[in-house]
């Protein structure tokens, strides 16, 4: 059986330097994209590429997680948005703000090691 349920989930990695770890390819199919290109993507293009997971840094030189969350919410993304950061004093504050702004967006904030663990755990529930 080779349908979309048996394939590895598609992970869209936004920007440079978010995470580059060969262990990601063990659990996901990867596609990299600049933040500029990301903001031009439509829901149809997300569906065509079967993107189930999106990962970005908390902040980058081009954008931040609030702007990315806004675009994901606008196009009706139903997967999981993963925000990667080395350190954060209180991730609940950022998560609460994202939830208030975009209540339908499922997001998680984690360190790079936590991200690898999450992706290597039982397939993340995405695109539900």
52's enclosing H/E stretch is strand 51-57
Within-domain flag for 5:
no
Average pLDDT over residues 43-66: 90
The total of structural domains in the chain comes to 1
Tens digit of pLDDT for each residue in 114-125?
Answer: 888 888 875 544
The C-alpha angle 28, 33, 36, rounded to 5 degrees, equals 150
Exposure string for 34-47, b = 16+ CB within 10 A, e = fewer: ebeebbebeeeebe
Give the separation between CA 87 and CA 8, rounded to whole angstroms: 28
Residue 75 confidence (pLDDT) above 50: yes
Within-domain flag for 128:
no
CATH (domain of 25)? 3.40.50.2300
Residue 44 confidence (pLDDT) above 80: yes
Within-domain flag for 127:
no
**What global pTM score does this model have?**
0.83
Domain with 102, as residue range(s), is: 10-120
Within-domain flag for 86:
yes
Bigger pLDDT: 112 or 19? 112
Within-domain flag for 4:
no
């Amino acid at each position: 059986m080779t349908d979309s349920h048996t394939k590895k989930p598609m992970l869209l990695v936004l920007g440079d330097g978010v995470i580059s770890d060969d262990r990601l390819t063990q659990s996901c199919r990867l596609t990299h994209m600049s933040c500029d290109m990301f903001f031009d993507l439509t829901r149809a293009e997300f569906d065509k590429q079967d993107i189930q997971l999106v990962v970005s840094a908390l902040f980058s030189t081009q954008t931040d997680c609030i702007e990315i969350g806004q675009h994901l919410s606008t196009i009706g993304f139903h997967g999981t948005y993963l925000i990667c950061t080395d350190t954060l004093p209180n991730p609940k504050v950022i998560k609460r703000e994202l939830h208030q702004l975009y209540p339908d967006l499922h997001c998680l904030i984690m360190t790079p090691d936590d991200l690898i663990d999450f992706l290597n755990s039982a397939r993340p529930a995405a695109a539900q």
